[in-house]
Amino acid sequence: MQNDADVIARDHAEREFPFPRPAGPLGPPLEYARLRAVQPLSSVKLWDGSRAWIATRWEDVRAILGSPHFSVDPFRPGYPSVSPARAVQARSRQAFINMDDPDHARFRRMLTKDFMQKRMSDLRPMVRTLIDGLIDKMIEHGPPLDFVEYFSQPLPSMVISALLGVPYEDHTKLGTWSNTRNDHTASPEVVQEAVRKMEAHLGLIIERKEADPGDGRDMLSRLVIEQIRPGHVTREEVVRIASLLYSAGHGTTGSQIGLGTLSLLMNPDQRAELDADPSLLASAVEEMLRFHTIAHFNSARVATADVMIGDQLIRAGEGVYPLIFAANRDPAVFPNPDTFDIHRNPQEHVAFAYGIHQCLGQPLARLELQTVFSMLFKRLPGLRLAVPVEALTFNSTSQVYRVEALPVTW
Ligand code: HEM
């Protein structure tokens, strides 16, 4: 007779990945915990009938992300995708997030100094000014209003636009194209069109900077001077870098600010503790990153050699999802993982992934998040939800999980 573990594993093998979130909008799919307990590397079915492995233990997820035997190249046979749109997105996103070393390292190196700690500290006054300005506008409008529209979405768009040297007025167009591109449920043609428009628009901006890079202080002007002019890279390559940085830089951080704010509004005791003790700020932000793990289907991998992960042999050519959301809810590393706890200081979380593709923009994301949560509740002490939590809607069909709107009052 088969034991429970076999039954659970077989049952899940026939379900199509990705799984829904019946445990509520902030909880991972129930399958993650079940599979982690009985079969931490599980074979799942994808939309096109192909199969891929999903990894649900923190240890295995880190092992895959840290291994040189997995590729992020979507053109390799066996590279998995969660939908037809996602297959097109990955292939049309030939920036370094979808390249293996040494190409990946060559491009990433061009940007490392832009995200160094010192550069981030220099940005702090600008971020504070932007936050103050957005809160002034909220106060001017008066409650209630949608926090996503008035605050969590515009702030990272303003910051990344300033860093790249892209006019902020373009954010509606760029934001819409970027969201369409990341929507798993869009039709492949619509995704392709959004990519084309976004790249054409950024191409024009870069062309203008080639004609006149000004003082060369913004990132794109610097890339023009240091990389395009000496012939190290082409304009098209810089367009793809710009497109990656814009998409990665605004949607992610915007979503994290929205969901982080929601967590504190749902946990008033912890919010009061944070107000009273600013030394909890860094730990609170890490816990928001761990708890929500917004990049919920982070980049797929395909094995380039036969590799043992835990007790499971993954063969060359097989697709894998190292699920960072599941890893960040692994009780072996994070006791009571489904509880939001700002005291936890979860240094080992993998919300920014791990290994060579670990998020390049994480110092910027941390700067924005820590500055927001050091200012928001001081300026709006009465901030609270204007609707019951149950009335909120969440988007799980994008590469980045997010709350659609957050009606607040104060
Ligand atoms: C809370 C905010 C953010 C989260 C949770 C996040 C998460 C991630 C994750 C999980 C990856 C790895 C994907 C993979 O494994 O393939 C990644 C990569 C990346 N992120 Fe972020 N990110 C955030 C903000 C940002 C910002 C603000 C930027 C910069 C503008 C940025 C730029 C990038 C880039 C360029 C990569 C590709 C790195 C590489 O392939 O070497 N991210 N991010």
Check residue 179 and give its pLDDT: 87
- Tell me: the pLDDT tens digits for 210-244? 999 888 889 999 999 999 999 999 999 999 999 99
Q: Which amino acid is at 56?
A: T
Report the distance separating Cα 97 and Cα 88, nearest Å.
Answer: 15
DSSP 348: T
Residue nearest atom 27 in ligand 1 by C-alpha distance: 249
Residue nearest atom 6 in ligand 1 by C-alpha distance: 352
In this model, does residue 13 exceed pLDDT 90? no
Residue nearest atom 23 in ligand 1 by C-alpha distance: 252
Q: What average pLDDT score do residues 252-262 get? A: 97
Contact 71, 302 (CB under 8 A): yes
Measured in angstroms, how far is the CA atom of residue 38 from the centroid of ligand 1?
31
Phi and psi, residue 296, nearest 5°: -70, -25
List the domains of the chain with CATH numbers: 4-409 (1.10.630.10)
Measured in angstroms, how far is the CA atom of residue 321 from the centroid of ligand 1?
16
Check residue 146 and give its pLDDT: 98
Contact 203, 177 (CB under 8 A): no
Percent over 90 (pLDDT), the chain: 80
For ligand 1, is residue 364 a contact (CB within 6 Å)?
yes
Pocket test residue of 114, 218, 359 for ligand 1, highest count of atoms within 8 A of CB: 359
Contact 157, 168 (CB under 8 A): yes
- Tell me: the pLDDT tens digits for 308-317? 999 999 999 9
In this model, does residue 42 exceed pLDDT 70? yes
Residue 57, token pair as written in the block: 């233990």
Q: How confident is the model at residue 93 (pLDDT cuts 50, 70, 90)?
A: low
Average pLDDT value for the chain: 93
Check residue 183 and give its pLDDT: 87
Measured in angstroms, how far is the CA atom of residue 352 from the centroid of ligand 1?
6
- Tell me: the pLDDT tens digits for 349-401? 999 999 999 999 999 999 999 999 999 999 999 999 999 999 999 998 888 99
Pick 137 or 15 by higher pLDDT: 137
Measured in angstroms, how far is the CA atom of residue 357 from the centroid of ligand 1?
8
For ligand 1, is residue 245 a contact (CB within 6 Å)?
yes
Residue nearest atom 35 in ligand 1 by C-alpha distance: 360
For ligand 1, is residue 160 a contact (CB within 6 Å)?
yes
Dump the DSSP string for 110-161. TTGGGGSHHHHHHHHHHHHHHHHHHHHHHHHH-SSEEHIIIIITHHHHHHHH
Instruction: Give the DSSP H or E segment for 205.
Output: helix 188-211
For ligand 1, is residue 110 a contact (CB within 6 Å)?
no
SS3 category, 269: helix
Give the number of other Cβ atoms within 10 Å of residue 69's Cβ.
14
For ligand 1, is residue 251 a contact (CB within 6 Å)?
no
For ligand 1, is residue 87 a contact (CB within 6 Å)?
no
Q: How confident is the model at residue 279 (pLDDT cuts 50, 70, 90)?
A: very high
Question: Closest ligand 1 atom, CA of 295?
Answer: 10
Pick 191 or 360 by higher pLDDT: 360
For ligand 1, is residue 264 a contact (CB within 6 Å)?
no
Give the number of other Cβ atoms within 10 Å of residue 308's Cβ.
10
Contact 258, 147 (CB under 8 A): yes
DSSP 74: T
Q: How confident is the model at residue 185 (pLDDT cuts 50, 70, 90)?
A: confident
Q: How confident is the model at residue 259 (pLDDT cuts 50, 70, 90)?
A: very high
Q: Can you give the pTM of this predicted structure?
A: 0.95
Q: How confident is the model at residue 265 (pLDDT cuts 50, 70, 90)?
A: very high
Residue nearest atom 7 in ligand 1 by C-alpha distance: 352
Measured in angstroms, how far is the CA atom of residue 364 from the centroid of ligand 1?
10
In this model, does residue 1 exceed pLDDT 50? no
For ligand 1, is residue 108 a contact (CB within 6 Å)?
yes
Residue nearest atom 31 in ligand 1 by C-alpha distance: 361
- HSE-up (13 A, CA, CB side) for residue 244: 22
Residue nearest atom 32 in ligand 1 by C-alpha distance: 361
For ligand 1, is residue 33 a contact (CB within 6 Å)?
no
Measured in angstroms, how far is the CA atom of residue 299 from the centroid of ligand 1?
10
Question: What's the 3-state SS for 149-193?
Answer: HHHHCHHHHHHHHHHHCCCHHHHHHHHHHHHHHCECCCCHHHHHH
Give the number of other Cβ atoms within 10 Å of residue 391's Cβ.
10
Report the distance separating Cα 263 and Cα 269, nearest Å.
Answer: 11
Measured in angstroms, how far is the CA atom of residue 386 from the centroid of ligand 1?
32
Check residue 3 and give its pLDDT: 62
For ligand 1, is residue 164 a contact (CB within 6 Å)?
no
Measured in angstroms, how far is the CA atom of residue 189 from the centroid of ligand 1?
25
Check residue 90 and give its pLDDT: 81
For ligand 1, is residue 98 a contact (CB within 6 Å)?
no
For ligand 1, is residue 360 a contact (CB within 6 Å)?
yes
Question: Closest ligand 1 atom, CA of 160?
Answer: 30
- Tell me: the pLDDT tens digits for 292-302? 999 987 779 99
